Structure 1
Amino acid sequence: MKFRFPVVIIDEDFRSENTSGIGIRALAQALEEEGMEVLGATSYGDLSSFAQQQSRASAFILSIDDEEMAAETGAEAEAVVALRKFVEEIRFRNADIPIFLYGETRTSRHIPNDILRELHGFIHMFEDTPEFVARYIIREARKYLDGLMPPFFRALTHYAQDGSYSWHCPGHSGGVAFLKSPIGQMFHQFFGENMLRTDVCNSVDELGQLLDHTGPVAASERNAARIFNADHLFFVTNGTSTSNKMVWHATVAPGDIVVVDRNCHKSILHSIIMCGAIPVFLTPTRNHYGIIGPIPLSEFHPDSIRQKIEANPFAREALAKNPDKKPRILTLTQSTYDGVLYNVEKIKETLGDFIDTLHFDEAWLPHATFHDFYREMHAIGRDRPRSQKTLVYATQSTHKMLAGLSQASQILVQDSEERQLDRHRFNEAYLMHTSTSPQYAIIASCDIAAAMMEAPGGTALVEESLTEALDFRRAMRKVDAELGEDWWFQVWGPDHLSEDGPAEREDWLLRSGDRWHGFGDLEEGFNLLDPIKATIITPGLNVDGEFAEQGIPAAIVTKYLAEHGVIVEKTGLYSFFIMFTIGITKGRWNTLVTELQQFKDDYDRNQPLWRVMPEFVAARPQYERVGLRDLCEQIHGIYRDNDVARLTTEMYLSNMEPALKPSKAYSKMAHREIERVAIDELENRITAVLLTPYPPGIPLLIPGERFNRTIVQYLQFARDFNERFPGFEADIHGLVVEENAGRKHYFVDCVQNS
């Protein structure tokens, strides 16, 4: 299979008619005649940018006959300095790509040892024929390219190249079925031959089996386990929602007491229901921006967890029947959506072996093990201490922060000193949730996402994400400083930010009482904010929940940005969220800064919505005569009059009373022993479904809990707001909307009153 990886030649004489230029062009021609593509350049240019070519090249050939080197005196030549910097930039990202030096008059005697040891060879032109030298370079380049492929991807490309006829599913038979239909032709042309030829079923023996972890799949999982510093690693093609359910079904049985972060993904709550577990919750802090903060370290103490068990009637009853039984699992969201991390080692020290299994939902944190900035702030890593008896799981979305396709996920396991994972027993839970027809492109992307993070490349990619995130924050502060007293957007984070250079870990620790985070008293060194998660704060609300006279609700900003080609991850009341994954570029974040400046200009001039948000207005003509600033003031006024920031904070911190076990309440829905209850009548009723406001997408109530007054007030506000401002509706999963006589009515499915 043909891949494009040119040989890159950097020589100031590449286009010259002198002897050196003729010689290097003869070598380039010989390479091309052997089937290699050649890319010629006459200078290093911007070193960092040019070093990015390492991801596209098969080899570098660097001239050492530049005029600066020829004019070398006692001091080190400028060309040697440039050469060293270039080689360092390449090796920071790639330890293996071949680098050759090319000289006509100069030799290795003129090159310092620290450069020489990074080279694959030295070409002295005119001593061998260009054809011989070309074959030598091609041999090394092909050896490098052959070593790039991780096991499964290698097997998949070989399978696609073999041209075998397949009689197995899927029914499109390598894409052939699409060629029999005009619309199928469009589909085939859009996705391409390779994707369709490699979309196969699990009966292809040479590709191995995801279901029982054999063959190239197993080799790739072992390779990824090594890269991610885990004892065991399993690829998952149904997303981390499924990874979480696998971990739980391998660990938890009906009647088990489980300890769960209240700020958990809904897949954890689905797991509670499916496993028949009895949850006790650890409650995180929140600030009035709506940003979820950390669970205090004191909540992890065994005595605190025992008190929570005693306060829960179902957990208390289960413990009374079996006083010596440990809580079965603790699941912690690591990191939070907005990037707050926990010191895992402090949690392990606090809990000891009080809990059977620790599970860290690291959907947003697979990058952490590759950079020292995150030391101790992730679950599993190199040289991390082991618990004596407790297994540690981490579930990670490689598609969120790394380079996996959507739904690419993985489960990492660290054995304890006394207990190893029983892989066969675990696989029973794995089989319960995985598809018997996994998508092989997703498996390949799991394989590639891991291989991309192999040292030193993984560290370089994470370092680049951190650098871009810091530069974005610095750019936003620069704009703010230049505007002076005029309004601008803020990026949530520590007050002190270095003006240049890498992220200083100490700056990003959440310290007790710091006003910027708004989480109150925190344990020293327990929490860290990940700089690559950037929450942008819009004007109108401060961290104490106090509204200004004027404000700009974030939903208006993000709808404006969407019409200008900028799509953000999450929108709150006065904040929206972006991520600096390994795929973010300078162009992308600089475009965001310029679009925010354009929004400011349109807001200040109160431009009509039909002009600045034409698609939005075309779908909702009632906004046609409204100005951008006018709309902001209208929605801000509603938020302020209803004190929504405090309401949304208090509803998540309010007392959630368990009235039924979650599995029992869900069974009521399955047996249709429910009734649809209007919002105004919900207080004290028992929900049969998850109630999940977006944002932040964190379930507010789980099946079996009672509605309290605060939650009902929020739902009443959401109903009235939705009616007044169509297009900006509060999205609440679990609400049933029925339309009658042109008006929408809202209900929740509750357990029938006995």
Structure 2
Amino acid sequence: MGGGLPNYAGGVVASRSRTRVYNSWWSYRADCWSRLEEAVNRVVVAQRRDSPIDGLVEPIMEQCTALVPIEQFWAFPGPELFARVQELAASADYPRLLHLVASINRALVTESYRHGSMALRDNQEASEDDLPELEHSDSDRPYFEVLVVDTLTPEQEHDLREEMRSWRRADDKFVYELVVVGSGPEALVAMRLNANIQACVIRRRFSHGSLHDLTDLDEFIDPDLSAELADHTPDERAQILARRMARERPEVDLYLMTEVGVEEMAGRLSHHFRRVFHAREGSLDLHQSILAGVMHRYRTPFFDALRAYAHRPTGAFHALPISQGKSIVGTHWIRDMVGFYGLDIFLAETSATGGGLDSLLEPTGPLRDAQDCAAETFGSRQTFFVTNGTSTANKIVAQALVGPGDIVLVDRNCHQSHHYGLMLAGAQVSYLDAYPLNEFAMYGAVPIREIKQRLLDLRAAGKLDRVRLLMLTNCTFDGVVYDVGRVMEECLAIKPDLVFLWDEAWWAFARFHPIYRPRTGMRAARTLVEKLRTPEYRAAYEEWDQTERSDRELVEDRLMPDPDTTRVRVYSTQSTHKTLTSLRQGSMIHVHDQDFAQKSREAFHEAYMAHTSTSPNYQILASLDLGRRQAALEGFELVQRQLESAMRLRDAIDNHPLLSKYMHCLSTAEMIPDEYRESHLAHPLRSGLHNMIRAWSTDEFVMDPTRISLYIGLTGIDGATFKQAELMDRFNIQINKTSRNTVLFMTNIGTSRSSVAYLIEVLVSIVREIDERKSEASRAETIVFERAVARLTNAAAPLPDFSGFHEAFRDPSEHPTPEGDVRRAFFLSYDDTNCEYLLQAEAEAKLAAGGTIVSATYVTPYPPGFPVLVPGQVFSTAILEYMGALDTPEVHGYNPVVGYRVYTDAAVEIAMADRARLYAGSEQ
């Protein structure tokens, strides 16, 4: 198995008994506590029966030992209680040990520790005398943990916990507990393992080297951190550690406590710290600052305003009868509407013109604040909410940045909204081809060589000044992830003012994972801006720039942009509703554009006005605000669990003796050719976390493991049939994409272990039926099955590249380049007399006779879901062979009864004449 990114709280974790391999330390820890309870229970039961306990005690000590290296990184059960567990185990007091371990395990499984006192207080009425019990609370206040980095004795640590607890008040919005570690390396491990940590207090006296044996956690140790910390002053070490932590978990609030020079330190404090405190006088201020810092991320300006509005009596004398539920609460015929949806959703219905709330088109109040919060959470300079999906978000960005005649480079396999957006903007579209995966009837991503070559060709043709935008999908639907920073750097070395649109519709969650994050548009933009400003980069660039390079060398070499002329202009569109939490159609546009104010703000505003409803759904906007809060406070944890679910699913399929006989999860090596993997790791996941990080740091393309392309060719069932007839109709399992011999499963932040288990049950049931039918099949039935398998396991016609636009829709030039005028080609078909229809055989015959056929529409097979033909594109033999071999049931833009909609020869002549007039006009 391979092809994935491990849970960052994991990697490959082997239990000491070697009975199971884990992908997550969370799962490993939880199972250790459960196995410990089971082991102790077996001993207690044996003692009650006066049975020998030989051989039953060793598993208890084994599980206690297994928990030693990891328990220090969580606040519950904490060092005191865990020490009590070890004492009872060592003294063989098994009845008391069982009571204590069962209480701890129950609290961990149910997460009841979040609603009780973290110190398990002595219960004097318990039959076990001094055995502690968990004090429960009725409070539903959110719980989090605070990491303290300092070398403290157990007594000092106990006193610090009690001191911070003493500042609690009943009206505090949140409750927290402390995790204390003594060194920089241990602090980084805690941040990587413990998703409950929302704040970190760095004190000056922490050690540069680990104070405990972390051999079992070696994969989480930064090998360079200890040495980097060793040769610096305490204050410098604090700054270094803060930078490392901010890189891992940028959402976590960092605080510094120091005993000396607090005023001087405040003047040169790293921007990573929220505040600095004096150690002898700051505990109350620190407590209040910790709560305020979390509250800053917790607040939801628009949702709070909408909720307040919903409980305010109003009199509506304008449109929207449903406002405040007025047209529903007194009805006789649609009372079930309130019963199904609840009353609050109608109480919150209003419009911008109604007053009391903000306008999406001109936000000045809570909606503007909500978008500012989103910008902070997602690392952008500006963020805009969109209530009608990322399709509209893509059109907004295209219209804002592109004018008629501008050249845009775009992946031909992008979402249809890009094709239509560029058509509406009047762009000259230059389609880029991704590398094909013919065996699986899908495409990968566009190699950087292809992009650079296209830019260099346009430069040679004297058209580079007209190139405006590069549009790419990251990650692709099938999970191929670009090295976003590298793509932007190398393209900017050729075209320093190139603008980038990264379609992250299916990748909004990536911001909240340390390994994913550098390959997102917003983080890569910020990193590039910071890099270009450093003296080290300038010196490296000046040395690199001394060498003259041919275009061929520029295609092959790693390029460096000029720090003096480069402008970083990056846009990302995200479907919050697809991979985070939002109501359907809730999306965001994130902007990191150094020239936004000077070059784009007004055009963006007009495009936003053009595509945004004046009556947006306020419930969608509120859900975007809430989804942002969730991502800011628990995005790291949710993405961790999403990855864990994906790895469980992969392991369960590939390691199952019957499932693996008929299907397997496609690996990195199968999805990404070796030439695009500098690490040359075919299975990065199984190479350990350090190698996984290396692959994501160096490879041109990597795989997102949350997208699991399941190869089903050996079942003899094609992807479309497997999706509809097997998964959906029989078992109500919903998936989105298939190819002729694969089905795509995607885990998300809502995927549960139970849903993964159900999917495995379903797949086993399907495969068992296939296996039984195969074993009982007649000779004729066997032949039919073998033919079906052969058809799906042998590649059909190769996936066709973009054939090119007809010259009628291209600018005449001494140095022709492949961009075409899609808008002219698209609207020419509005006059039906310009079009005719050709059946597959008729089209083949015309091409064979030397004729030319020009498409009048988009032709998009599902799957794979990309346009094989666009308006103005010429037919090729490869395209017709591919369409003829296609066995998918759904093809948009092609009617098998009447055929392809194409331009008549007369219409092509009209288009040629129009081109001549346009060109003549431009020459004048």
Q: TM-score, normalised by structure 2?
A: 0.59
Residue 707 of structure 2 corresponds to: 533
Query: Compared with structure 1, are the counterparts of its residues 78 and 554 closer, same or farther at alpha carbon in structure 2 (3 Å cutoff)?
Result: farther
Distance, in Å, in 2 between the alignment partners of 1:244 and 1:556 is: 32
Q: Which residue identity lines up with residue 112 of structure 1 in the other structure?
A: H
Distance, in Å, in 1 between the alignment partners of 2:295 and 2:309 is: 16
Identity of aligned residues (%): 25
- Picking from 637, 661, 669, the partner of 2:829 is 669
Residue 653 of structure 2 corresponds to: 476
Distance, in Å, in 2 between the alignment partners of 1:629 and 1:141 is: 69
Residue 490 of structure 1 corresponds to: 665
Does structure 1 conserve the Cα–Cα contact (< 8 Å) formed by 2:411 and 2:431? yes
Distance, in Å, in 1 between the alignment partners of 2:391 and 2:500 is: 17
Does structure 2 conserve the Cα–Cα contact (< 8 Å) formed by 1:373 and 1:505? no
Q: Secondary structure at the match of 2:605?
A: helix
CA-atom RMSD in angstroms:
4.1
Deviations 1:106-142 (A, max 9, x none): xx979636755775757xxxxxxxxxxxxx5355569
Q: Which residue identity lines up with residue 193 of structure 1 in the other structure?
A: L
Residue correspondence of structure 1 range 107-186 to structure 2 within 5 A: 112=158, 115=161, 119=165, 136-137=169-170, 140=173, 148-179=298-329, 184-186=334-336
Residue correspondence of structure 1 range 268-287 to structure 2 within 5 A: 268-287=418-437
Q: Secondary structure at the match of 2:327?
A: helix
Query: Compared with structure 1, are the counterparts of its residues 118 and 730 closer, same or farther at alpha carbon in structure 2 (3 Å cutoff)?
Result: farther
- Picking from 450, 456, 460, the partner of 1:306 is 456
User: For structure 1, which segment, 225-234 or 562-571, has the greater mean C-alpha deviation from structure 2 after superposition?
Assistant: 562-571
The reply on whether 1:340 has 2:505 as its aligned counterpart is: no
Q: Secondary structure at the match of 1:206?
A: coil
The reply on whether 1:560 has 2:719 as its aligned counterpart is: no
Deviation (angstroms), 1:356: 2.9
Q: Which residue identity lines up with residue 450 of structure 1 in the other structure?
A: R
Deviations 1:137-193 (A, max 9, x none): 355569999874400000010011113232333233333324565552223321221
Does structure 1 conserve the Cα–Cα contact (< 8 Å) formed by 2:143 and 2:174? no
The reply on whether 1:367 has 2:367 as its aligned counterpart is: no
Q: Secondary structure at the match of 1:572?
A: coil
Deviations 1:249-304 (A, max 9, x none): 11111111111112211111101211111111221112121232122221232x44
Distance, in Å, in 1 between the alignment partners of 2:579 and 2:597 is: 31
Q: Unaligned regions of 5+ residues in structure 1, if any?
A: 1-40, 98-107, 123-135, 311-315, 512-522, 541-549, 609-625, 722-728, 738-744
Does structure 1 conserve the Cα–Cα contact (< 8 Å) formed by 2:427 and 2:823? yes
Deviation (angstroms), 1:418: 9.4
Query: Compared with structure 1, are the counterparts of its residues 418 and 736 closer, same or farther at alpha carbon in structure 2 (3 Å cutoff)?
Result: closer
Distance, in Å, in 2 between the alignment partners of 1:496 and 1:285 is: 20
Residue 349 of structure 1 corresponds to: 489
Q: Secondary structure at the match of 1:646?
A: coil
Residue correspondence of structure 1 range 189-338 to structure 2 within 5 A: 189-287=339-437, 288-301=439-452, 303-307=453-457, 319=462, 323=463, 325-338=465-478
Residue 384 of structure 1 corresponds to: 527
Residue 506 of structure 1 corresponds to: 691
Higher relative contact order (CA 8 A, sep 6+): 2
Q: Which residue identity lines up with residue 751 of structure 1 in the other structure?
A: Y
User: For structure 1, which segment, 223-232 or 205-214, has the greater mean C-alpha deviation from structure 2 after superposition?
Assistant: 205-214
Residue 45 of structure 1 corresponds to: 105
Deviation (angstroms), 1:555: 2.9
Residue correspondence of structure 1 range 703-718 to structure 2 within 5 A: 703-718=871-886
- Picking from 392, 416, 435, the partner of 2:613 is 435
User: For structure 1, which segment, 707-716 or 354-363, has the greater mean C-alpha deviation from structure 2 after superposition?
Assistant: 707-716
Query: Compared with structure 1, are the counterparts of its residues 463 and 539 closer, same or farther at alpha carbon in structure 2 (3 Å cutoff)?
Result: same
Does structure 2 conserve the Cα–Cα contact (< 8 Å) formed by 1:338 and 1:535? yes
Does structure 2 conserve the Cα–Cα contact (< 8 Å) formed by 1:280 and 1:309? no
Query: Compared with structure 1, are the counterparts of its residues 407 and 534 closer, same or farther at alpha carbon in structure 2 (3 Å cutoff)?
Result: same
Q: Secondary structure at the match of 1:337?
A: coil
Does structure 1 conserve the Cα–Cα contact (< 8 Å) formed by 2:401 and 2:603? no
Distance, in Å, in 1 between the alignment partners of 2:712 and 2:161 is: 50
Distance, in Å, in 2 between the alignment partners of 1:281 and 1:257 is: 10
Does structure 1 conserve the Cα–Cα contact (< 8 Å) formed by 2:804 and 2:874? yes
Bigger Rg, structure 1 or 2:
2
Deviations 1:392-411 (A, max 9, x none): 10111101110111111111
Distance, in Å, in 1 between the alignment partners of 2:861 and 2:339 is: 40
Does structure 2 conserve the Cα–Cα contact (< 8 Å) formed by 1:491 and 1:535? yes
Q: Secondary structure at the match of 1:464?
A: helix
Deviation (angstroms), 1:736: 2.8
Distance, in Å, in 1 between the alignment partners of 2:779 and 2:367 is: 56
Residue 574 of structure 1 corresponds to: 741
Larger helix proportion of the pair:
2
Does structure 2 conserve the Cα–Cα contact (< 8 Å) formed by 1:510 and 1:529? no
Q: Which residue identity lines up with residue 668 of structure 1 in the other structure?
A: L
Deviations 1:413-453 (A, max 9, x none): 11228975643331111001111111111111111111111
Residue correspondence of structure 1 range 409-420 to structure 2 within 5 A: 409-416=587-594
Residue correspondence of structure 1 range 612-623 to structure 2 within 5 A: none
Query: Compared with structure 1, are the counterparts of its residues 342 and 324 closer, same or farther at alpha carbon in structure 2 (3 Å cutoff)?
Result: closer
Deviation (angstroms), 1:654: 5.6
Q: Which residue identity lines up with residue 253 of structure 1 in the other structure?
A: G
Query: Compared with structure 1, are the counterparts of its residues 636 and 172 closer, same or farther at alpha carbon in structure 2 (3 Å cutoff)?
Result: farther
Query: Compared with structure 1, are the counterparts of its residues 674 and 508 closer, same or farther at alpha carbon in structure 2 (3 Å cutoff)?
Result: farther
Q: Which residue identity lines up with residue 361 of structure 1 in the other structure?
A: D
Distance, in Å, in 1 between the alignment partners of 2:648 and 2:612 is: 41
Deviation (angstroms), 1:585: 0.8
Q: How many residues align?
A: 606
Distance, in Å, in 1 between the alignment partners of 2:781 and 2:582 is: 40
Q: Secondary structure at the match of 2:522?
A: coil
Does structure 2 conserve the Cα–Cα contact (< 8 Å) formed by 1:44 and 1:50? no
The reply on whether 1:599 has 2:655 as its aligned counterpart is: no
Residue 899 of structure 2 corresponds to: 747
Deviation (angstroms), 1:584: 0.8
Deviation (angstroms), 1:67: 7.6
User: For structure 1, which segment, 147-156 or 179-188, has the greater mean C-alpha deviation from structure 2 after superposition?
Assistant: 179-188
The reply on whether 1:680 has 2:841 as its aligned counterpart is: yes
The reply on whether 1:458 has 2:635 as its aligned counterpart is: yes
Q: Which residue identity lines up with residue 471 of structure 1 in the other structure?
A: R
Distance, in Å, in 1 between the alignment partners of 2:778 and 2:117 is: 56
Distance, in Å, in 1 between the alignment partners of 2:733 and 2:396 is: 35
Residue 37 of structure 1 corresponds to: none
Deviation (angstroms), 1:217: 0.8
Distance, in Å, in 1 between the alignment partners of 2:893 and 2:465 is: 34
Does structure 1 conserve the Cα–Cα contact (< 8 Å) formed by 2:653 and 2:660? no
Does structure 2 conserve the Cα–Cα contact (< 8 Å) formed by 1:606 and 1:630? no
Residue 26 of structure 1 corresponds to: none
Query: Compared with structure 1, are the counterparts of its residues 586 and 486 closer, same or farther at alpha carbon in structure 2 (3 Å cutoff)?
Result: same
Deviation (angstroms), 1:238: 1.0
The reply on whether 1:730 has 2:763 as its aligned counterpart is: no
Does structure 2 conserve the Cα–Cα contact (< 8 Å) formed by 1:551 and 1:633? no
Distance, in Å, in 2 between the alignment partners of 1:448 and 1:182 is: 34
Residue 425 of structure 1 corresponds to: 603
Query: Compared with structure 1, are the counterparts of its residues 162 and 706 closer, same or farther at alpha carbon in structure 2 (3 Å cutoff)?
Result: same
Does structure 2 conserve the Cα–Cα contact (< 8 Å) formed by 1:283 and 1:295? yes
Does structure 2 conserve the Cα–Cα contact (< 8 Å) formed by 1:491 and 1:537? yes
Deviations 1:58-83 (A, max 9, x none): x5334522489x999xxxx9979x99
Query: Compared with structure 1, are the counterparts of its residues 532 and 492 closer, same or farther at alpha carbon in structure 2 (3 Å cutoff)?
Result: same
Distance, in Å, in 2 between the alignment partners of 1:476 and 1:117 is: 50
Query: Compared with structure 1, are the counterparts of its residues 585 and 459 closer, same or farther at alpha carbon in structure 2 (3 Å cutoff)?
Result: same
